[in-house]
């Protein structure tokens, strides 16, 4: 077995007792390879803070986060007064009239304490980008510092809840390697400041080498090229043809049949909670998938989605650990697919619905959309015939595309899927396909294989087959090769271990841009070759033209 090199978790909270935080004292701080670039003369950019300066979030941040508490206070003290005023009666009853001033004073005191707490929270919340780290200090009585290494940043999200959108504010989330939750959350910043900070941090995390002569200048946001968008009608159609719709309809038919057979109307009552749950699920999926767009830029794959609460994710392609393409049976006549990914730091989330949206690379798309996204995630497919190999992984049977499938002797273990269950290996990734009705293709880059395991139960031993499991970061993708011939699984175990070890040796940096463009020059020293094929220097990010996916190295997927 092989294991990926250990990744430190810099996001653990460290208490601050008024001096230098313990993490900052014990950690070896290495300066980032990249420094903020000088803004292009043709692009007017606001003058940003110098590197290392401590800044505060927007003053309205605590009120946006705590508006529910303020609303609860107002409801508790003002409900009776509001109702009586609407009914035209006295605002205070006679027995309470003498205590009205005390009630008002108590409500005012509670409100004053709440507002004072909000202000203190804002005053003691500061953030800094310096020395290859992003740091956030919080807390009034119990102070805390969180920090994340820039070269360990896996993804950065810009989140705008409805109330924050009204005030033009946004929350910035940083995900780092092996963090169980968001390592750093900055809430809230002005939307322009959030985009500016994201551009600077992503450039450093990606390994963009820029001119260090002017570190005080902000880095312009990298340009982007839109790859695809999901029409609302396709999103609605995918929800209506989803798995939950099938089971709800089947349950409704069963309830009608049972009610007719037993002359009992009680079976209809079971449809009420099912309908409410289905409506809530539909709304959540529609709200998260509405206006979904995917674009490519020098700092990674940009995903935007949301109806009421909007979110903008930036995923560096080299940070994606595993990818899964699925096709439910009701989607097959329309040629639709869904794509999900494992990203370090996304495995454990506070909100299951939010986590599902953040790990979705494509909620519903056509085969062309899938190939376009595959080209972004895996710029080098590792095979001269990517369309054949990946096409066979999505829709093939038996040995199509060079796949090795379950031996015929084990067809009784999977009578429907044994011709689909199989694997194929390219120079850069391992492909695992499964499922005859619910089709699935899992793609794992070799260097992202952390460990490998062989599973064989008593029935599998009888048919001389085994399952091979690849371990990556937690997430919706579980790479598993089902019911391979025992000798084939054992051989693949050794071969994949060697591939993973060799791939990690070739990956000499955590900065994703230098993984796909090893000789990325410093600012002003020459053009950049590779998946973006830009004819301009990296210092000129404000005018960088990103070509379409078919012009990129990975475009041959399509």
The DSSP code sequence of 485-499 is: EHHHHHHHHHHHHHH
Per domain, the residue ranges of the chain are: 14-49+126-219, 65-122, 319-511
- Residue-wise pLDDT for 310-354, tens only, equals 888 888 777 789 999 999 999 999 999 999 999 876 654 444 445
Q: Coil, helix or strand for 14?
A: strand
217 vs 197: CA distance, rounded Å: 12
- Residue-wise pLDDT for 398-438, tens only, equals 999 999 999 999 999 989 889 999 999 999 999 999 998 89
DSSP-assigned beta bridge partners for residue 148? 134
* Predicted pLDDT at 209: 57
481 vs 464: CA distance, rounded Å: 15
Q: How does residue 532 score in pLDDT terms, banded at 50, 70 and 90?
A: very low
Distance of CA 402 to the CA centre of its chain: 32
Which range among 239-248, 302-311, 322-331, 546-555 shows the weakest confidence by mean pLDDT? 546-555
Q: How many residues does the chain have?
A: 558
DSSP per position, 95-148:
HHHTTHHHHHHHHHHHHHHHHHHHHHHHHT-EEEEETTEEEEEE-SSS-EEEEE
- In angstroms, the Cα distances linking 492 to 352, 425, 481 are 34, 9, 10
Mean pLDDT of the chain: 74
Give the alpha-carbon dihedral of 182, 183, 188, 193, to 10 degrees: -120
157 vs 168: CA distance, rounded Å: 16
Task: Reply yes or no on whether the pLDDT at 552 is more than 70.
Answer: no
Q: Tokens standing for 519?
A: 């000789």
Q: Coil, helix or strand for 444?
A: strand
Classify residue 71 by burial, with Cβ atoms within 10 Å: 0-12, 13-18, 19+. Answer: exposed
547 vs 536: CA distance, rounded Å: 12
* Predicted pLDDT at 76: 67
Residue 503's nearest CA partner among 372, 314, 318, 315 is 318
Residue 489's nearest CA partner among 465, 471, 472, 470 is 465
Residue 248's nearest CA partner among 307, 330, 359, 324 is 330
- Residue-wise pLDDT for 162-183, tens only, equals 888 888 888 888 777 654 555 6
Task: Reply yes or no on whether the pLDDT at 126 is more than 60.
Answer: yes
Q: Tokens standing for 302?
A: 């940009």
- In angstroms, the Cα distances linking 447 to 4, 219, 340, 497, 532 are 8, 31, 19, 10, 22
Angle at 9 between CA 6 and CA 12, to 5 degrees: 155
Sheet holding 55-56, edge to edge: 14-15, 144-149, 133-138, 126-130, 55-56
Q: Tokens standing for 324?
A: 């899964």
Residue 168's nearest CA partner among 64, 69, 67 is 64
Q: Average of pLDDT values for 22-34? A: 33
Q: Coil, helix or strand for 511?
A: coil
Q: Average of pLDDT values for 489-518? A: 77
CB 222 within 8 A of CB 202: yes
447 vs 507: CA distance, rounded Å: 8
The DSSP symbol for 11 reads T
The DSSP symbol for 495 reads H
- Residue-wise pLDDT for 183-215, tens only, equals 678 888 888 888 888 887 777 666 665 566 665
Report CA torsion sign: 491, 493, 497, 500.
positive
Half-sphere exposure at residue 258, Cβ-oriented, CA atoms within 13 angstroms: 13
Residue 11's nearest CA partner among 167, 142, 201, 144 is 144
């Amino acid at each position: 077995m092989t294991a990926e090199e250990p990744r430190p978790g810099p996001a653990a909270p460290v208490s601050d007792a008024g001096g230098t935080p313990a993490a900052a004292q014990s950690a070896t701080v290495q300066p980032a390879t990249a420094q903020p670039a000088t803004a292009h003369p043709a692009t007017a950019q606001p003058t940003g803070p110098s590197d290392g300066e401590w800044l505060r979030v927007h003053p309205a941040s605590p009120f946006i986060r705590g508006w529910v508490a303020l609303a609860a206070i107002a409801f508790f003290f003002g409900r009776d007064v509001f109702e009586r005023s609407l009914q035209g009666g006295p605002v205070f009853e006679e027995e309470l009239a003498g205590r009205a001033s005390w009630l008002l004073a108590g409500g005012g005191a509670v409100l004053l304490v709440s507002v004072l707490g909000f202000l203190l929270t804002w005053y003691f919340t500061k953030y800094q980008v310096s020395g290859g780290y992003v740091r956030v200090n919080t807390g009034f009585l119990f102070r805390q510092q969180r920090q994340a290494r820039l070269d360990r940043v896996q993804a950065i999200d810009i989140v705008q809840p409805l109330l924050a959108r009204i005030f033009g504010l946004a929350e910035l989330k940083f995900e780092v390697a092996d963090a169980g939750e968001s390592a750093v959350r900055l809430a809230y910043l002005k939307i322009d400041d959030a985009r500016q900070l994201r551009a600077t941090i992503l450039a450093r995390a990606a390994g963009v080498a820029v001119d260090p002569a002017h570190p005080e200048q902000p880095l312009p946001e990298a340009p982007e090229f839109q790859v695809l968008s999901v029409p609302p009608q396709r999103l609605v159609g995918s929800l209506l043809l989803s798995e939950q719709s099938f089971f709800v309809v089947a349950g409704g038919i069963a309830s009608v049949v049972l009610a007719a057979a037993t002359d009992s109307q009680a079976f209809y009552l079971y449809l009420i909670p099912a309908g409410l749950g289905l409506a809530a699920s539909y709304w959540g999926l529609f709200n998260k998938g509405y206006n979904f767009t995917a674009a490519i830029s020098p700092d990674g794959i940009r995903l935007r989605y949301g109806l009421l609460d909007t979110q903008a994710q930036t995923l560096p392609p080299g940070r994606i650990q595993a990818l899964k393409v699925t096709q439910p049976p009701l989607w097959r006549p329309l040629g639709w697919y869904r794509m999900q990914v494992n990203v370090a730091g996304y495995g454990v989330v506070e909100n299951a619905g939010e986590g599902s949206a953040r790990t979705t690379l494509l909620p519903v798309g056509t085969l062309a959309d899938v190939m376009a996204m595959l080209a972004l995630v895996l710029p080098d497919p590792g095979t001269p015939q990517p369309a054949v190999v990946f096409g066979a992984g999505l829709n093939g049977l038996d040995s199509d595309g060079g796949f090795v499938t379950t031996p015929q002797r084990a067809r009784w273990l999977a009578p429907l899927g044994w011709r689909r269950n199989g694997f194929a290996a390219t120079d850069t990734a391992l492909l695992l396909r499964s499922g005859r009705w619910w089709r699935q293709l899992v793609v794992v880059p070799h260097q992202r294989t952390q460990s490998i395991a062989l599973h064989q139960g008593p029935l599998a031993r009888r048919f001389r087959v085994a399952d091979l499991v690849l371990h990556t970061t937690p997430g919706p993708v579980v790479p598993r090769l089902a019911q391979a011939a025992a000798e084939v699984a054992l051989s693949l175990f050794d071969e994949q271990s060697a591939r993973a070890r060799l791939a990690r040796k070739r990956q000499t940096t955590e900065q994703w841009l230098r993984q796909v463009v090893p000789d990325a020059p410093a600012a002003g020293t020459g053009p950049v070759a590779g998946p973006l094929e830009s004819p301009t220097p990296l210092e000129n990010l404000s005018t960088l033209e990103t070509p379409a996916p078919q012009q990129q190295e990975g475009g041959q997927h399509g």
